[in-house]
Every structure is written in structure tokens, then in C-alpha cells.
Structure 1
Amino acid sequence: DDGLRLGRPDGSRATVGVDVVTDPASAPDCDAVLVFVKSTDTADAIEEWRPVLTDATVATLQNGLGNAAALVAALPEDGVLAGTTSHGAVVEEPGVVRHAGTGNTRLGRWDGPNDAPVERLAATLSSAGIDTAVVADPRTAVWRKVLVNVGINAATALARVENGALVERESGERLLRRAVSEAARVARAEGVAVDDP
């Protein structure tokens, strides 16, 4: 009702009017759709919103593995883009989002060579302040982001410490390196070229 209230990394705030729909039947025609749901909800979101997705370029910048594959399995193969972003955001309350930090965003066609729709979406994101590079191999970009998350998320949660606290101790850093090294071996077994930490 009050628009989307945004807090920017520089401390400034803005309110942006947005048209929100919760029913695919009332959605406007879309050239491109960004899928941003929890990985556990990707399949359900695809199923519910399929009428909107089938004629659009569909992109996922979701964390984790399997999201692009779920999109490809349900949609025209040549319409799926995937990648990663290191931008951070926090939902402070409904309708209020704090952009917590900027970072790299990478995007590419999941199956096949990059083309005009990929370049167009990357340019649109860049013009909105999310500098986006087109990459030839989004699978490697996704796996590299997985390795970052493997080295932070689970161990930090299990230790019940804030992000960054584990590297303050030798034992914490050793745990992170071992987790990332194991995940890198899995990536290489899947045919993705990533380096050990």
C-alpha cells in the first residue's frame, strides 16, 4: 500500500511505487522474469507462475544448486538464464528492505551461447545499479557462490556466531577450509572447474 521503502548502502532512503500481483492471471506481459524464492519453493513457484514464464526470458540468481535445472525442466530450454549476485539485502519489515551491500553479479544462458536477451537483461540490471557481467559459464559462477556459502553459512549457524567470527580462530578457519575443499571436490566430480581454497 505504501510502496517499497528502500534503505541504500550509502544510508539514503527512498520509496518506490510498485505494482504487485499475487495471481498469475493478473500479471502483465513480461519480457523477463527474475525468480527469487527460496530453493525449496522453486518448483512450486514455477508451477504456479508458468503462464507468465513460458514466453519470457527467465533468470535465476538464487543461492544454491538445482534452481536453473528446475527451470529448464519446466520451461523452454532456451529461455533460462542463471547466475549469482553478491548484493546483500535484509527485509526489515514487510515493505521495507535494506540494501546491505553491493557485490558482483554474473549472468549467462544456462544451456547455449549468450545472445541479445542475456545482454539486454544484464544492461537493464546494470542501469538499475546492479553492475552485471555476462559470463559464458554460469555453472562455474553458481558453484563458486556455493563454495562461499559452504564456507560461511552452515558452520556459522552451527557455531551460533556472527558472519566472520569463525576466521578469528585457527580452528574455525580450518573448519571452513575443510568444508570448502570438500565442496570443491564435489564440484570437480560434477565437471565444474573450481579451485581449492
Structure 2
Amino acid sequence: MNLILLGPPGAGKGTQAKLLEERRGLKQLSTGDMLRAAIAEASALGREVEAIMARGDLVPDEIVVGIIGERIQAPDCARGFILDGFPRNVAQAQALDEMLDEHGLGLDAVIELGVDDQILISRIEKRASETVGGPRADDNVEALRKRLSVYTEQTAPVAEYYRDSGKLKTVDGMAPVDEVSRQIDLVLNKAA
């Protein structure tokens, strides 16, 4: 089973991906981890990625999709994979679909964790006020507002792209973790 988890920062995608790994034996794939692994391997592609990142540039979509294409062939992805944080825009979603098609694969589900931005902001404010020693540098309302803005502008259209293809299912990301997991399982059971 191959799936994408969508939702803004703080929606719980990482938490749900880890739970899906445990329950279903799927592999959570992080593009950041894959890029770092390519660099560590010092392959031709890894050296190219390292040079791009050293310049402070974003790694082009075709390279990221190519790395994902290689990674999904690994034995630990045999039962399926979870993409969390990718695709970030419609062009990446289209490139991902093309690459999966070339590999004879597809997406079984695209699950959006629906959340209320204002409640996310309130959660961050509460967590920041309760954190002993102060919050992390990026764990503040201003940083979250910026990340939410970027998500709304660039990534939210990905949900529409998958909605138009009939693959998108939305669950209540504001529910308790166990309830969100139950809703995701219902979606995946219907997709299986």
C-alpha cells in the first residue's frame, strides 16, 4: 500500500506515519533523509545534490522524484510506503505520479489531516508557555504562521489535485491521536 499524508505543519502527519509503520509495516519516507543518504553515499547523484545544497539552492523536483524512485525499490518498501511532506506542490505531484506509473505503481490513498489553523496556533502558544527552558527556535507562533502561509500557497493545491483525481480522503486531524488513526485505518481498509 502506497500513500501520501497531507496537512499543514503541526497536523500530526509524522505521528500518524510512525503509527502506520508499526501497524501496517509500511515505510515512512522523508525526502530530507533520502537527500542526506544520497550525499553520504557519495554517488554521482549524491555529489550533485551536495553541490546544489551547498549553494543554498533547492534540489530540483526531477532529482528528488528520481531519488524517491530509487528508494521505493528498496526491500523495506516492499509492503508499501508513506510519503510525509512530499509532494509540496502540484508539479511535484504530477512528477511523482509519472514516476510511479513508470515503475508500475500507484498511490492507494492520499489522506489529508484536516485541521483548524487557529487551534494549531493556540496549541503552539500553550506548548511554548509550558516548555521548561523555553521553546525550540521554530516552535513559536510567528514561525508557525509563516509555515502555514507557505503551506496554504504552495502545498494546499496538492490536495485539490488529488481530490480531482478521486484519491483524496480527509480525516479529522483535530481528533485525538487514536481517533485519527482509526479514521485513517477506515480509509486504508476501503482502499485495499
TM-score, with length taken from structure 2 = 0.30
Higher helix share: 2
TM-score, with length taken from structure 1 = 0.29
Higher strand share: 1
- Greater RCO between the two (CA within 8 Å, min separation 6)? 2
Q: Which has the larger radius of gyration?
A: 1
